[in-house]
Structure formats: C-alpha cells, structure tokens
Chain A
Amino acid sequence: MAKISLQDIRHSYLSNPRLDVDFALKHIDIVFEDGGAYALLGPSGCGKTTLLGIVSGLVSPTSGRVLFDEDDVTDMDTIHRHIAQVFQFPVIYDTMTVFDNLAFPLRNRKIPETDVSSRVLEVAKMLDLEEGIHRRAASLTVDGKQKISLGRGLVREDVNVMMFDEPLTVIDQNMKWELRSKLKELHQNVRTTMIYVTHDQTEALTFADEVLAFKPVRQLPRLAFVLNMSDSVSRVSR
C-alpha cells in the first residue's frame, strides 16, 4: 500500500513533441491517497489510459515524476511497482483452470504452494468463483473471465494500487450493476487504493470517493489555450 503522487507529468507519443497539441497529457499533478477509491472520468482520447499506464510503468512519461510514498519509481519497471490492473477486455490464460489463473501471479513470485492455495480459495470465495474452480477458464462467461482478471490482482498481498481500465465495457447491463457493487464491497474489505477509468458518469460516481474529470484536451483549438493542470483536470469531491 502506498500513496501515489504524480508530479508535473507530461506525456507525448511522438518522439519529438513541440506544440501543446502533441501531448496526450499535460502538466498533471495528482495525489492518490493510500486506500482511496478514485475514478478518472472523461471522453475517449483524453489520456486516461495513458495516465494509468504511467502509474503502472507500462508507459514511461516524457517528463515528470511518479512517487510511491516517497520513493521515485519513474524509471522502475512494472513488476517492481507491485501494481494490479484490469483491462477493458478480460485477459485470462485460456489453457489454465480458474484456480491456476488465480495462482499464476503468486507462483511467478515463488510463493509456497500451501499459501498459494489458501489465498486463491479465499479470493475465489470473495468473487463467487468457487464453483467450477478447477474448470478451464476459457469456459467461463465474459463476466466470469473479468472476475478472474480482477482476482489475479486481489490474490497478491503486496499490491500498491489496483487499476481498472473501463472494466465493464464488455459486460452485460444487468451484470454490470452486480460487478460494480462487488467492486465497491471489495474496496471496503481490502482497502487497497483503487483507480477506476471510465467514460460513464454513473460508474464513476457509484464507485469512487473522489472523481477526477478530464477535459478532452486534444480536441481544443490549438491557439486558444495554454493548458495547465487546473485547466485539464478538475476535481469533484463528494
């Protein structure tokens, strides 16, 4: 667990950015407090996913610093940041069973098999995946698969932050509601920092303690704005 600070982050996908419009993210300064539930809300293409990538280390920012507590992790690779992420489409290991899927992150970290087993069963119970836990993961429905992706983050005890990148996009309408309450409940139980990216206001408001609304910065006319943090990110606290 850690407090996550983004300090003056700028990011561009171009190799030689000059103008403001070249940047997908400009001057982002945010602090995610330890144990908070945050939502990043904004239209497609406003840099939400990029921001997640910067926190997880999958994207390295053009400039600025990322701090976990007081440690500068800007140049640290993903595995050492101890983060978990759920993607838009469920990512599961098709040929493994549900159990092996959930155990995978633990086994990769050389955790003893007895601990793996108890931890996996605990998480499976939390997510209602106990039934058919030894079946092939590929046979599950899409919401079951998304639960597995979520579970692979929950099994690890060293997770600093869990991130969700529009995780309910492919889920049925009625299952959406259930999964959302599940997430909320999980957050109350495990108290890991969670960052939830979405373009759906309802999702953002039901999930998060704090919503960070992004403006579609790239769609603004070139000349009119010099954007700084207070322009591109506005906070709505409840």
Chain B
Amino acid sequence: MISKSVKQSAWFFVIPVVFLVAFNALIPLMTVVNYAFQETFGDNVFFWEGLTWFEQVLNSDRFHDAFLRQIMFTSIILLIEVPLGIAIALSMPRKGPWVSVCLVLMALPLLIPWNVVGAMWNIFALPDIGLLGYSLNAIGIDYNFTQQPISAWITTILMDVWHWTSLVVLLAYAGLTAIPEAYYQAAKIDGASKWAVFKWIQLPKMKRVLTIAILLRFMDSFMIYTELIVLTGGGPGNSTTLLSIDLVKLALGQFDLGPAAAMSLVYFFVVLLICWVFYTLMMKNEQQ
C-alpha cells in the first residue's frame, strides 16, 4: 500500500465555486424558503406559519387547474416537437452547400428574443389585422384567440412549435451526423428497410441527444412565461394561465408572498423530480 499524503490546501481552489453557487442559487433560494414558512407585513417583521402556505397552495383549485393546464401544454408540445424535430432532421441534407443554409434557417427562430416571438405571433394571429387571423376568418373559420380558449390554445401551441422545434432539429441532426457511415453500409448489406434503419440504427444512436432535447424542452415549456404573457397574458379568462403566469399573478399581482413562495418551491421540486425520474429511466436502459 502506498499512502497518499492528504493536502488540505485543495479546498482553497473550491472556494470560488462555492461563492458563485451560493450567490446565484443558494442564497436567493433561501430567501424564497424564508417567505414560504412565514408571514410578513413589511418592515422586516416575520411571523412563523409552518406549513400553512403549502397546505393552502396544494389544496387550492386554482393551483390544480394551472398545474393541469401546464401538464397538458407540455405534453402536447413534446408530442409535436420531438417527432417533428426528428422528421425534419432526417430530411435535412448531410453534406453539400445546402447544409449550412438549412442550419441557419433552423437556428433563426432560436435567435429571436422571447418577447418578440410573443409579439410577432400576437400580431400575426390578430383576427382583424393579422395575416393568420384575418385569413382564417376570411375562409370562414371562426377564429379569435383573444376570446376563444380553443383558438388561444392552438395559437400558443403553434407559437411554441415554431419557436422551439428547431432546438430538437439541431440536436437530432447532430446525433445523426455522428453515426459512422459503416452502419448505413452494413444495414444496406443486411437488406434493412428505411424504417428498420431508423428503428435500429438512427433512433438508438440519437438516444442521448434526444434525452437532452426532451429534458430541455420539458423544462423550458414547463416554465414558459415571456412568450405567453405577451401573446395571451394568460387569457381569455384563465384558459392559458400556466404555472409561471399564475405564480406571477399570485406574487406580484396579489402580493401574496407567502403562498407564492410556497408555490415556487413546489413548482421547483416538480420540475426537479420529473427531470430526475426521466433521466434515470433513460440512463438505466443504457446500462443493460
């Protein structure tokens, strides 16, 4: 046995990271925790409330509704964006001058500031002056996203698909181009159909990047705020009030800091939990 001398000075090098994480994550989070368990009437005076706010939030219909709407929204956009993104990535050229053209076109929606995306779609979909809204009404479809919940949902989903499918495309494309040519040659020799090549080569080889793509899309869509507040503001009524919009209404609209803080923590743990379960399941398969 060779015994290593332990150098405590190594801790010194970790200090910058500890400070960074403390100031950008832990300390702000602790402030929220602080509000979640206490009541305040300003002037830095706090009263201990225990789990009251958590019980209130978890038992409120308002939270349940927002949560259900959120789950529905995230499920729908994942079900559209992931298959669509893969399909587009598969149909993109692998070499030649069109590669860069396609990549730039794909990256374009990702470069637009989020509130601009919301504003664009708002104007685009307005029933009286917007190209989409006006055209739909002109061909006899009754469409008004400012008054009909269904129209508002369709517009919101279209906007998210337009904005974010590119991310899935780019990640899937990166996964596809990393597959060595020999796999395609072997598949040809084995007489594999196009579908078999997709199922047994392309999809398994894209698994890692797709895991990342689904995780990113899940988290971002679960926390969608900017585009949505500009497009519908959560309306008509509460029909597109997803979790983050509801949270802002609660915290800054009603200034109910206690319940809002409790809701933030629940919200945070839900995102964390789903991500962890999903990632663990995907990676567990990997090791078999």
Contacts and interface: CB of A to CB of B under 8 A. Distances in A.
Interface of A: 56, 58, 78-79, 83-85, 87-89, 91, 93-96, 104-105, 108-109, 136, 139, 149, 152-153
Please report whether the interface of chain A is mostly helix, strand, loop or mixed according to DSSP.
mixed
B255 interface: no
Contacts of B183: 91
B188 A79 contact: yes
Nearest to A136: B288
Given A93-B200, A95-B200, A78 B189 contact: yes
Given A58-B185, A87-B182, A89-B182, A94 B193 contact: no
Interface string B226-248: 00000000000000000000000
Contact of B182 (A84, A91, A93): A91
Contacts of A78: 185, 188-189
30 contacts: A58-B185, A58-B188, A78-B185, A78-B189, A79-B189, A83-B189, A84-B189, A85-B186, A85-B189, A87-B182, A87-B186, A89-B182, A91-B182, A91-B186, A93-B201, A94-B204, A94-B205, A95-B204, A96-B200, A104-B192, A105-B189, A105-B190, A105-B191, A108-B190, A108-B191, A108-B192, A108-B193, A139-B288, A149-B186, A152-B190
Given A87-B182, A91-B182, A56 B189 contact: yes
Interface residues of B, number: 17
Interface of B: 180, 182-183, 185-186, 188-193, 196, 200-201, 204-205, 288
Given A108-B190, A136-B288, 13 more contacts: A78-B188, A79-B191, A87-B185, A87-B186, A91-B186, A93-B204, A104-B200, A105-B189, A105-B190, A108-B191, A139-B288, A152-B186, A153-B189
Nearest to A58: B185
Nearest to A77: B188
Please report whether the interface of chain B is mostly helix, strand, loop or mixed according to DSSP.
helix
Contacts of B190: 104-105, 108, 152
A89 B189 contact: no
B211 to A, nearest CB: 14
B48 to A, nearest CB: 54
A125 to B, nearest CB: 21
Contacts of A95: 200, 204
Chain A CB within 10 Å — which of B183, B188, B191, B204 has the most? B191
A108 B200 CA distance: 12
A89 B180 contact: yes
Nearest to A110: B191
Q: Lowest 8 CB-CB distances: which A-B pairs, in order?
A: A108-B191, A91-B186, A105-B190, A87-B182, A93-B200, A95-B204, A78-B188, A79-B191
Contacts of A89: 180, 182
A91 B191 CA distance: 14
Chain A CB within 10 Å — which of B180, B189, B192 has the most? B189
Contacts of B189: 56, 78-79, 83-85, 105, 153
B196 to A, nearest CB: 7
A85 B192 CA distance: 14
A104 B182 CA distance: 16
B185 to A, nearest CB: 5
B159 to A, nearest CB: 35
Contacts of A58: 185, 188
Contacts of A139: 288
Contacts of B200: 93, 95-96, 104
A95 B198 CA distance: 12
B87 to A, nearest CB: 20
A94 B191 CA distance: 17
Contacts of B191: 79, 105, 108-109
A184 B178 CA distance: 34
Nearest to B183: A91
Contacts of B193: 108
Nearest to A81: B189
A167 to B, nearest CB: 12
A109 B196 CA distance: 12
